Amino acid sequence: MHEAGIASSVLEIASGLAVERGPDATVAVVRVRIGEFTGVACEAFEFAFESLRDDNSRCAAARLEIERIPLRGECSLGCWSGAPTEPFDLRCPACGAAVAILSGRELEVASVDVNLNHAESSCC
């Protein structure tokens, strides 16, 4: 259950961007990418984000958008690429060799929408 720590890091990154943009700037939207092959459960992450944002004056009204990135890989011997045929089975379905991961390990903040003043925030 480290989703709280992950959410806290996301809020810190987002609020830092608002702080850089002036005393009235606040965060409207935070977009993150969470890979399928990470230890992060999206529902728990959303819950942690919603719980923790209330304590963060720059992010109190922030909306979280999660893009879930599927696990994809390619055979280390080059004969196959794609999504595993069985969940998290990282053997090449063609030859049995190890599959190198191409995507699915992402834990990233993609972009953040910042309201530059409170008036803008309240009218949205």
Partner 1 sequence: MEQVAVETRILKKNDDYARENRERFAQQNLAVVNFLSAPGAGKTTVLERTLRDLSTRIRTAVIEGDLYTTLDRDRIAAVGVPAYQITTGTCCHLDAKMIAKALAEFPLNGIELLCIENVGNLVCPAEFDLGEQLRVMVYSVVEGADKPRKYPLMFHQAHAVLLNKMDLLPYSGVSLQELRENVLAVSPDTVILPVSCRTGEGWPAWTEWFTAAIARVRSGAPACV
Q: What is the DSSP string of 18-38?
A: HHHT-TT-EEEEEEEEEETTS
Query: Do residues 103 and 69 lie in contact, with contact meaning Cβ atoms separated by under 8 Å?
Result: yes
Q: Residue 87, interface with partner 1 (CB under 8 A)?
A: yes
Q: How far is the CB of 81 from partner 1 (least distance, A)?
A: 16
Report how many residues bind partner 1 under the rule CB under 8 A.
37
Q: Would you call 113 helix, strand, or coil by DSSP?
A: strand
Q: Does 115 bind partner 1 (CB under 8 A)?
A: yes
Tokens of 68: 């879930």
Which residues sit at the interface with partner 1, rule CB under 8 A? 1-2, 5-6, 9-10, 13, 17, 21, 28, 32, 37-40, 86-91, 96-99, 107-116, 120, 124
